[in-house]
Structures are given as C-alpha cells and as structure tokens.
Amino acid sequence: MKKVSIIIPCHNEQHTLPKLCEVLTAFINEHKDYLWEIVMINDGSQDNTLGVMKTIHENDSRYAYIDLSRNFGKENAMLAGFDHVTGDCMVIMDGDMQDPPYVIADMLRNWEQGYDDIYAKRISRGKESFMRRILTKIYYYILQKIARIDVLPNVGDFRLLDRKCVDALRSIRETQRYTKGFYSWIGFRKKEITFDRGDRDSGMSSFNFLKLFNLAIEGITSYTTAPLRISTVFGLVVSLVAFIYMCYIFIKTIIYGDPVQGFPTLIVIILFLGGIQLLSIGIIGEYLGRVFHETKHRPVYIIREKEGV
C-alpha cells in the first residue's frame, strides 16, 4: 500500500488548524487505500499553535508535529517537512483553510497516471486587496520575462510531489530559499489542475507587503542575474550619452565661446548619475549579501521538539 505524506507549515494558526485537521481527517478516512502521514510544522508561532498540534497528535497518531526553535520563515519550515516525510509522495498545503483537501483526490489520480509534480492553479485568489492582486501580476510578469526558468503565476505551494521530487528538493540546502522557483528548476513531469482558493477561516495572513516584497526580491535574485545585466547596460547607455553631450559642449565652446551658464543642467546630471550609481551598488549588494549568507553554512532551521516523525 502506498503512503501519502502531507506537510502543513503553520504560523499562529491555533484557530484554523483544528478545523483543517477535522476536514482533513474526514477526507483521509474516505481514502483508506493509502497510508497517511500528516506532518505539522510550527514555525515559531506566538499563540497556542504548538499546544493544538500536541492535542491533535495525541488523538490521532497519523498526525505528527515539528516545533522549530524560532520563526525561520515558511520556506525553511517546508524544508523541515521535506526532510522528515517518509511517504511515496508528499502534499504541501497551508494551515489557513484556503487549500481545500478534496483537491488532493485529483492530485492522487494524476500521480497514479505517472505525473511527478501536480500543482494546483488558482482560478480565484479569495479575498485579496486590489493593490495586492495588481502587484502580484506585475511581479510574475517581470519574473517571467527575466528569469531563465518558468515560474508559474497564480500557483502557490499547494501541490503533490513524487518521492523523487522531494529528494531533489531536500538536496537543495540554500539558506536564501525561493521554493516556487525550485519546483520549476528540478524539472520532472508536471500536471496542472485548477481550484477555487478559499478565504481564511479566521485570523490574518502573516504575509504583509514588506514580507511579500522581500520574497519577491528573493525570487528575482535567486534565479536571474538580469538586474546586474540591466545595471551594466544602463551604465553603458549613460556613458554613451555623456560622451555625446561632452562632444557637443566641446564643439559649442569652440564655435560660440564659453559663457557661464547651464548650472541647473549640471546639477540634474550629477544627481541622475549619482542615483544610477547608488542603484547599481544596491543591486550588487543584494547579490553579494546572498553570497555572504551562503558562505556561513548555517543550518537552514533548528528543531526544538518533534513527535511522531
């Protein structure tokens, strides 16, 4: 009998996690042709999420939990799940009730047909602000244009991965992680299914605009050096324009003399060139910072307590 593992990274989900596990338990009880393993990862929650996990584990041994020593972020919490699941395939889902368990049945059917990565694409994104929707579309448009791999829009972490995909993801030990890019980078046979993303049952998402912006920067700097190349091209263009302008001033001075004028133009040019230099230094700094963090070779996460895995 094949074994299916499910990982649920959680951060402050004490109210939604019991409801999710209730629905999930009903689902897996209807699919007894598989063995089931559910691993809940507590990513430094500040509420009683860990206590809820312990209660769920005590009531059903199919549920296990991993308690991280602090908040390492969802990307690293998922890696903790990758490292501990033992199933023939693995499903990733959020703990906020927005990923409906019934979709797993479609994933399993496609997995049995030979697909290795069955990802769920959102038809609707639930309750999101208009600004967040627009910024998300712009981000994915930019990333698809400059990245060397295909990062799919409206596709999150809700997916089923074959064991060989899980092993491939486990082998990637980068500390600055962007797992949505890893899914495409590792390859394997992929299959798309669609679903309507639900709304949060309670509470608020811990992903604010600042965290989403940082995640966007991670995605861009992880999978493309295009910003560095754009900075180089921009520098060449500005240098060429400056050279042409210098030739113009030189010829104009020879023909018409050199009256004292053009102070505002000079200030504008100095400020513009200074801004371009600072922008270029900032882009280089982003990549250099990634190198700095990777050379430390620190563990991606630290476990304080675990049970059932």
pLDDT, one tens digit per residue, over 55-113 is 888 888 889 999 998 888 888 888 989 988 988 899 998 887 788 888 888 889 888 88
127-156: string of b/e by CB count within 10 Å (b at 16+)?
A: eeeeeeeeebeebbeebeeebebebeeebb
Query: Which of 68-77, 238-247, 254-263, 293-302 has the least mean pLDDT?
Result: 254-263
| Rounded mean pLDDT, 15-34 | 87
Query: Which of 126-130, 151-155, 225-229 has the least mean pLDDT?
Result: 126-130
3-41: string of b/e by CB count within 10 Å (b at 16+)?
A: ebbbbbbbbbbbbbbeebbeebbebbeeeeebebbbbbb
What six digits make up the tokens of 194?
A: 């669609």
What six digits make up the tokens of 103?
A: 């979709």
pLDDT (0 to 100) of residue 260? 55
pLDDT (0 to 100) of residue 139? 65
Beta bridge partners of 42: 10, 67
Q: What Rg do the C-alpha atoms of the chain give, in angstroms?
A: 25
For 7, 87, 174, 245, 279, the CA distances from 171, given in Å and listed in that order, are: 18, 17, 9, 53, 34
Q: Residue 249 is which amino acid?
A: I
Q: Which of the four pLDDT bands, split at 50, 70 and 90, describes residue 39? A: very high
pLDDT (0 to 100) of residue 2? 87
Determine contact, residues 191/87, Cβ cutoff 8 Å: no
Q: Which of the four pLDDT bands, split at 50, 70 and 90, describes residue 126? A: low
Treating both helix axes as pointing N-terminal to C-terminal, what angle do 263-296 and 226-256 enclose, rounded to 10 degrees?
Answer: 160
What six digits make up the tokens of 154?
A: 């409206």
Query: Which of 37-41, 165-169, 278-282 has the least mean pLDDT?
Result: 278-282
Whole-prediction pTM: 0.69
Centroid of chain to Cα 226? 19
Bigger pLDDT: 209 or 104? Answer: 104
Bigger pLDDT: 201 or 33? Answer: 33
Query: Dihedral of the CA atoms 128, 131, 132, 133 (nearest 10)?
Result: 80
What six digits make up the tokens of 229?
A: 């190349």
Query: Dihedral of the CA atoms 147, 150, 154, 158 (nearest 10)?
Result: -120
What six digits make up the tokens of 261?
A: 């004028």
pLDDT (0 to 100) of residue 288? 76
Q: Is 198 exposed, middle or buried (0-12, 13-18, 19+ CB in 10 A)?
A: middle
| Rounded mean pLDDT, 17-39 | 88
| Rounded mean pLDDT, 267-279 | 71
CA distance 15 to 12: 8
pLDDT (0 to 100) of residue 46? 86
Task: Look up tokens 């549920």; give the residue.
Answer: 63
